[in-house]
Structure 1
C-alpha cells in the first residue's frame, strides 16, 4: 500500500469517525441543549446529557439553583452518564456553564419564574357564544315580478363581514336585522349598516327587495350571530377565578372566520353516547346541555389557544390544584388525560407523549403529539374524538397541556397544546397581578409572538 493510498484511507476513516460521533446519541444530547431555559420555582428539571466523560459545572451566582442537590460555589465536576438534575431555589436569573480542560463548551441561561398551580378539569361543557355583530355566512336570491337579485351581494358585502350596526341598532341580532329590513323595505327606504371586514370598518347603504316567496322584504343574506357546541374544561384558577377550555379557537362553520366575542357562557353538559373514531372518520361525543339557564362561566376571550372567562360555578370542586409545567419541562413519555366518556364522570386515561416541539418563536396548538394507549378509552372511543378538545394532559402529577386535534387518518393520535400558551392567553396572570401586585406574574410567560 503506497503512501497516497494510506492518506486517502486515513482521511476516509477520520471522516467516518467524525460523522459517527456527530450522529451518536451522546453528541446529539449535548448539541440539542437549549441556550435558554425557563423553570418554575419549586420544580425539578433534568438536562438529558449522556456523555461518557465528565464536565465541570459552574453558576455565575449561588443560592438560586441546586445542581444534583449541590448549592454550587465555584466549579464542580460531574459525570454525565445520567441526566443533570436542576432544582430551583428562588426566582431569578442564573447562567450555567459546562466546561472541559478550562474551556467553556456550553452556556445555558436559566430563568426561575413563579410557580403556578391550577385545578385540572376534564368535565364536558356546553359552549354558547354570541358573536360581536352578526356574520354574513351566505347569499340568497330574492325573486319577485321585477326579477331576481341579491341586494347584499350587489352592495359589495362579502362572506365573513360582520354587521356591527343597522339603522342605529348596535350589535344587532338576526331577529333585529330581519325586523329593520322588513320595516324599512315596506316604507320604501334604504338601509345603512356599519360592517367590520377584518380590522376595517365600512359603511354600506343598500335597498331591501320584496320577496314573493316569503312575502317579506329581504337583503338576500344569510347571517349567523352565535356558535354552539360541546368541549372540555381544561383548568380552573381559584386565585383569579378564571377558567380555560377547548385549547383552540371557535370559528364559524361556514366561513372559517374567528367568532369575535360579544357575549357567551359555558354550562354543564352530559355525555349520552360515543361515536367511535375510525381511520378517515373522526368520532364524536354525543352530549346535551344540562340546566342551560344556569351559567357555569362567562366567555370573555376566544383565542387560538382556547376560550377563557370568569368561573361562576366551580365544576372542579373537591379536586386539588396541581403545578403546571413550562414548555421546557415537558418530556416525551407516559402521561394521562382527564376527560368524560359517560355522563358527567371525569376519568383518567393513559396516553403517551410521542413528540415535544418547544415552539420557541411560533406558539401554536400543536406543540405535542400524543397517542392514546389506554385499553378502556380505545375500546369506547377509538382514541381521540370531537368533544375531547381541552381535556387536560397531566404528566407525573403536573399539568402540561391539553388535547386540541385528532389525526384524521389515525384517531389514536392527535395534537396537544402547552398549558403555558393557554395561561398566557387567558388573562389570568393580569388578573392575579391586580389582586396580588407583589407577585411578578407578568414575567411568567413573556411571549413575543402568537
Structure 2
C-alpha cells in the first residue's frame, strides 16, 4: 500500500509542479484589472484554459449598483486552480454588423509630397536641381511663385517650358516652412523641363470592411 501512495506521489508531483509554475507565470503576465461583458463565471473568450469565478457578494452588490461595477473575481486555471484575484469591470454588450466588402480609399495631401530626388541628363552633363536647392525626400511643396500646389499635373504644367528659369517654392519639412529656389533644366532624354524630383498628391489603397457600429456609424477596415 505504501508503494502505491509513493508511486502516486511521484506521478502527481510533476503535474502539480507544472500547475504551480504555470499559475505563477500566468499571474505575472496577466493584468490585475480586466474587462468582461457578463458576470457569469466562465472561460475567457480566446483565453482557454483561463476562467473567471466571481465572488457571490460582489455580483449581488453589482446588480443593485446603477453605475458600471468593478467586481472581484478569482482567475482560475483549468476552471479549478486559483491563479490570483483580479478586478473586473463589466461592460455592456456591443453589437455590430459584420462586413467583408472591399473598399477603395484615397487620401489627398496638403501640398505635393516629394517621393524621391533624381538626377537629370542635360546637354552639359548630369544635373541635380532639386538636390542642389536643398530639397529632400519627404518634403512637402506648398506653393510655387505664390500659387498653391494641389496636383501633380498642376506642377507639371508650371514647369513645362521653364528650363533655366528659377521657380520660387514654399516647402514644409516637419514643422518648419522655408523657401527654396529651383531652376528647371532641359532633359535631353524626355525632351522636357525637369526639376529633378518626383512628387505625389495623394495616397491610395484597398481595404476590407470588417464591421460597422450601428449606433455610432463607426467602421473598421
Q: Do these two structures clear the TM 0.5 threshold for a shared fold by scoring above it?
A: yes
TM-score range (shorter-chain normalised) is 0.5 to 0.7
Kindly report which structure 2 residues correspond to 1:10-159, keeping only aligned pairs within 5 A, or say none. Answer: 17=13, 20-24=15-19, 28=22, 32=26, 34=30, 35-40=32-37, 46=43, 57=55, 59-60=57-58, 62-64=60-62, 92-98=68-74, 106-159=84-137
1:211 alignment counterpart = 187
Deviation at 1:29, TM superposition (A): 5.2
Could you say which structure has the larger radius of gyration? 2
The aligned length equals 198
Q: Secondary structure at the match of 1:23?
A: helix
CA drift at 1:61: 6.7
Unpaired segments ≥5 residues, structure 1: 1-12, 66-70, 72-88, 246-450
Q: Please give the alpha-carbon distance, in whole angstroms, between the structure 1 residues aligned to 2:129 and 2:168.
A: 11
Q: Give the 3 Å change call, closer, same or farther, for CA 59–155 of structure 1 in structure 2.
A: farther
Could you list the structure 1 runs, at least 4 aligned residues long, displaced by more than 4 angstroms after superposition.
41-45, 47-51, 58-61
TM-score computed with the length of structure 2 as normaliser: 0.67
Tell me, in whole angstroms, the C-alpha distance in 2 between the residues paired with 1:239 and 1:57. Answer: 33
Counterpart of 1:242 in structure 2 is 218
Secondary structure, aligned partner of 2:171: strand
Q: 1:130, 1:28 → 2: CA distance?
A: 51
Asked whether the 8 Å contact 1:41–1:91 carries over to 2, the reply is no
Return the alpha-carbon distance in structure 2 between the equivalents of residues 244 and 50 of structure 1. 29
- 5+ long unaligned stretches in structure 2: 1-8, 76-81
**Residues 314-353 of structure 1: pairs in structure 2 closer than 5 A:** none
Q: Structure with the greater relative contact order (CA < 8 A, sep ≥ 6): 1 or 2?
A: 2
Q: Is residue 2:198 matched to residue 1:200?
A: no
Change over 3 Å in CA distance of 1:29–1:132 after alignment to 2: farther
Asked if 1:223 corresponds to 2:214, the answer is no
User: SS of 1:227's equivalent?
Assistant: strand
* SS across alignment from 1:152: helix
Change (3 A) 1:40 1:134: farther
CA RMSD of aligned residues (A): 4.0
Q: CA deviation at 1:115?
A: 3.1
Could you state the TM-score of these two structures normalised by the residue count of structure 1?
Answer: 0.37
